[in-house]
Amino acid sequence: MEVWVLRLGHRRRRDPRLTTHVALTARALGCDGMILSGEKDEKIIEGIKRVVKRWGGGFEVKYEKNWKKIIKEWKGKIVHLTMYGLPVEEKINEIRNCRKKLMIVVGSGKVPAEVYRVADWNISITNQPHSEVAALAIFLDRLFEGKELEKKFKNAKIRIVPQEKGKVIISL
């Protein structure tokens, strides 16, 4: 299943670190790529590309100002993560079984009402205020049923060997 994240409404002054966490979470937990929308921010895109080069895998990241165009041209289904949506537990099987490309939309500031309308699913990870990074992480963990935690990243230049204490990094 091909899965992308669409990060809406990025603000260059306010959001760089959170947007970076969204992208790295998407990559680490098995997505194929992220499309950044909102304000253009080459530094973020370059930063993510550097991580991919070093840590491996085929995660793509690109910028597109016009999110309506992205959604219009998307040949697959769309999930919008929002605290106002239906519980992930109720809908995750249906989403997993759609067997189409999936776009996961996560906002930064206020998300335009149109996103709620065009999404195939508006999904909440609790109806409490928390974090788009946390919501994305739990959504992906449920979507991939935990298998994403064992994902291998090809062509990595560096790899961690899990330890009980301390740090072991090997260069490949």
Chain residues in the site for its own copies (CB under 8 A):
14, 17-18, 21-22, 24-25, 27-29, 51, 55, 83-89, 113, 116-117, 119, 122, 124-131, 133-138, 141, 146, 148-149, 151, 153, 159-169
Other C-beta atoms closer than 10 Å to the C-beta of 5 total 27
Q: In the bound complex, what is the minimum distance in angstroms from residue 171's beta carbon to its own copies?
A: 14
* Closest C-alpha to 142, from 165, 124, 127, 160: 124
Look up residue 112 and give its DSSP letter: P
By C-beta, is 37 or 108 nearer to its own copies?
108
- Cβ proximity to its own copies: between 83 and 98 the closer is 83
Half-sphere exposure of residue 33, counting CA atoms within 13 Å on the CB side?
11
With vertex at residue 102, the alpha carbon angle to CA 45 and CA 72, rounded to the nearest 5 degrees, is 80
Q: What distance in Å separates the CA atoms of residue 159 and residue 146, rounded to the nearest whole number? A: 20
Residue 42 or 169: the one with the smaller Cβ distance to its own copies is 169
CB of 30 vs its own copies, minimal distance in Å: 9
Give min distance, CB of 76 to its own copies, in A: 19
Strands 169-171 and 158-160: antiparallel
Cβ proximity to its own copies, 62 vs 86, nearer residue: 86
What's the closest the beta carbon of residue 42 comes to its own copies, in angstroms?
A: 20
